[in-house]
A and B are shown apart, each in its own frame.
Chain A
């Protein structure tokens, strides 16, 4: 998997938007960008993924830079339940699993 860089932690207030950045300067043209999150004492949960265009789903939006060297996961209105570790991953393809770094620990203040 290509390497990604994320801040160790971020803090936000409840009901405000949250922008979680990820740098992936060595991304290849065929690498998808995936985001997962892990709530305390739970398994990772898929959030969203994309290749080139921005993506939206019920959980979040993914904004991908034009040169694809960075991306941003956007939570439009954070709730306390969004407090988790968020992982930005570029799967290598094939049956080789996902490489999880340390992710960004998101703290939501009430």
Chain B
């Protein structure tokens, strides 16, 4: 049982390049999330998907787009990467988006924008 799988684990981009971060979960969870974590800081929510077919902005959505491809997969796209987007990106999922449900996190994608 893999849980939440993120690819790639590491990536270096040049300013202006685009890329898509992939996330898949095998726990049949309905809700999925994308967070970013800057050095020495807590995680901040970028986008979330309460259920298949829905997506909503979180605290820091500027410069990102998401796609909930199906129930398992939730991707994050950087259309034109900027150095300020250098961060570690975590995907998470939960069975249903209620306050008594734990979230399960992937191991992250470490992204550097030069």
Contacts and interface: CB of A to CB of B under 8 A. Distances in A.
Contacts of A46: 102-104
Interface of B: 4, 31, 33, 35, 37, 40-45, 48-50, 56, 58-59, 90, 92, 97-100, 102-108
Contact of B99 (A32, A42, A44, A45): A32
17 contacts: A31-B99, A42-B107, A42-B108, A43-B4, A43-B105, A43-B108, A44-B92, A94-B98, A95-B31, A95-B48, A95-B97, A96-B48, A97-B45, A97-B48, A98-B43, A100-B42, A102-B42
A46 B90 CA distance: 14
B107 A43 contact: yes
Q: Is the interface of A mostly helix, strand, loop or mixed?
A: loop
A32 B98 CA distance: 10
Contacts of B40: 102
B18 to A, nearest CB: 24
Interface of A: 30-32, 34, 36, 42-46, 49, 51, 87, 91-103
A96 B100 contact: no
Contact of B102 (A34, A94, A95, A100): A34
Contacts, number: 67
B1 to A, nearest CB: 15
Contacts of B37: 100
A30 B99 contact: yes
Give the most central of A34, A92, A96, A99: most B CB within 10 Å. Answer: A96
B64 to A, nearest CB: 14
A94 B48 CA distance: 11
Given A95-B48, A96-B58, 8 more contacts: A34-B102, A46-B102, A94-B97, A96-B45, A97-B48, A98-B43, A100-B35, A100-B43
